[in-house]
Each structure stands twice: as C-alpha cells, then as structure tokens.
Structure 1
C-alpha cells in the first residue's frame, strides 16, 4: 500500500508531541518501485522548503533521491516479503532520515570496490551520501536508516 504525500500523511507526530514532515509507504512483494521512493523524496523536500523556509541544497536533494532509491532497490532485490519506506524531516528542516525496512534479517554488506563489476556499488554510494548509516534488526527483519544533511553542498562536509 502506498500512502500518497498529502496533508494528512505528510505530518507525523513524534513521541514528544512535536510535528515533523514525513512520509510512509509499504509494499507487498513485487509491488514496490524505486521510482516511488525518488518521487516521495522530491515531494517531501519540496514541501519542506516551503514549510521550514530552509533551502535544501540541490545536490543534497539528489543525494537523498539516490539513497532512497538504492535502499529500496536492495530491499526489493534481496528479500521476498513486504518492505517499506519512511522519510522524516527534522523539525528545523536541515536533516532527512530515510529508513527502509524489509523482512530479511541479513544486514546489507558493502562490497569491495571493483570498477569491472556491474552492480554491487549501491551501498557504497549510500555511505558516501549519508552523514550516518545504521542497520537496526527487529523481530522478523531489519531497518536500514540513513541520515542526510540537507544544507551541506559538499559530500566531504556531510560525514
């Protein structure tokens, strides 16, 4: 099930009662598409700039689309069950958290660099674009969480 990015789906209430812009989607096996993740990032960040007044660096927006794309592709490619995406923008509009969950307990592994290999470079790209990357196991699967700084233009300043 995909929840469209609308006024009700876009505002989430945190445990402390504060509201944050966010997005959630869940897909059954074979139904998810990476384009949905990229589209959700674009829509959320477009709304975020308007709401927070903090401009999102265009390179950071592209990186966020890439991270969401790669994490969802990994979930779709390497698991056979449901998967989902959660986007959450920090209250000040400077950080985006991208979380993708799936039904595999196997953590993703960064492959060694190999310019001759086709594929297998996605997680390395996610690491390069993210300020922080963590894998959180849970009963019945895992969640891969990436945090991105939306104001930094230079990847070297993000880590």
Structure 2
C-alpha cells in the first residue's frame, strides 16, 4: 500500500493518498490475485488508517474487482493494471487494459446466461466511468466504504 502527499485531483484535501496497485500479467490467477489485493488493501485501510469499511463494502469491492478484471482478461490481450485508492468515504477501483473498445452494458435479459458483469458493477457502484486512454481504456468504479444507519449503502438513496 502506498501513501504520500495528496495530489490536486481526487484525494482528500488534508490527507495522504491511500492506494495500492498491481500489474496482472495473465498467468491464470489474475482474478483471484485482484480479489486478494482488494481484501488486503481494505483490511489495511481499517487497521492503519482507522477508516470504517463495512462487510458489504469489502464484499462488493472484491466482486467489482473480479468482474472488471475478468472482462479485461477476456477481451484484451496483454497485462491488466489494477489500482485501488481511497477517496474520502469511497474506494475507487480502476482497471486499465490495452483494448480501446469501451464496454457497453447489454439490455436486461433474465434469460441470458452470462455477460452480466458490467450490469452488476453499474448496479452496485456509486460512480462508474469508462474512458479511452492514449493506449487502451480505463474503467473506474467507486463504492461506498460504509453503510448508512438503517442498512442503505452510503451514497445511494432509497427510491
């Protein structure tokens, strides 16, 4: 886990950047490695920085990492870069791969088997962005670290 001075964009104004990164190289264990990195990162965030991380946030972070890394491995040759960073009361999950084609969520279809990963990520995230980079693309999802009283996830409001 890296900490350092806060950059101008995306960090708490008075705190260090709390993040970790990994290059996943396609050896068949990338998805599990990403999940383990996410769990260890959030555990350290709690222990070393005293930030509240709900079990739901822990589980959803691992799920989102799994889905995004799976898609990157499936559709893009080459390495995948995974970055996890704390932004206030959110964890930001960024996955980069070398394929410039942006993912698109498919129309809901209860009869479709598979290919629901992006739908799942978009449903649980407080923020989602897919953007082309000079090489490849960067997918970003943000999840609340803690649940609000009453069981609602912080950042989402009941309808």
Q: TM-score, normalised by structure 1?
A: 0.83
Match of 2:16 in 1: 19
Selected match of 1:36 from 33, 37, 57: 33
Larger CA deviation: 19-28 vs 122-131: 19-28
Contact 1:38–1:65 (Cα < 8 Å) also in 2: yes
Matched, 1:86 2:86: no
Match of 2:11 in 1: none
Give the secondary structure class of the aligned counterpart of 1:64: helix
Distance across 2 between alignment mates of 1:49 and 1:85: 20
- Give the superposition deviation at 1:137: 1.2
Instruction: State how many pairs are aligned.
Output: 149
Q: What is the CA RMSD across the aligned residues, in angstroms? A: 2.1
Contact 2:83–2:95 (Cα < 8 Å) also in 1: yes
Selected match of 1:142 from 116, 132, 137: 137
Distance across 1 between alignment mates of 2:65 and 2:4: 19
Selected match of 1:111 from 90, 103, 106: 106
Distance across 1 between alignment mates of 2:111 and 2:46: 40
Contact 2:3–2:19 (Cα < 8 Å) also in 1: yes
Distance across 2 between alignment mates of 1:32 and 1:22: 22
Match of 2:2 in 1: 10
C-alpha distance 12-40 of structure 1, shift in aligned 2 (>3 A): farther
Q: Which runs of 5+ in 1 are unaligned?
A: 1-8
Structure 1 runs (4+) deviating above 4 angstroms are: 29-32
Q: TM-score, normalised by structure 2?
A: 0.83
C-alpha distance 125-49 of structure 1, shift in aligned 2 (>3 A): same
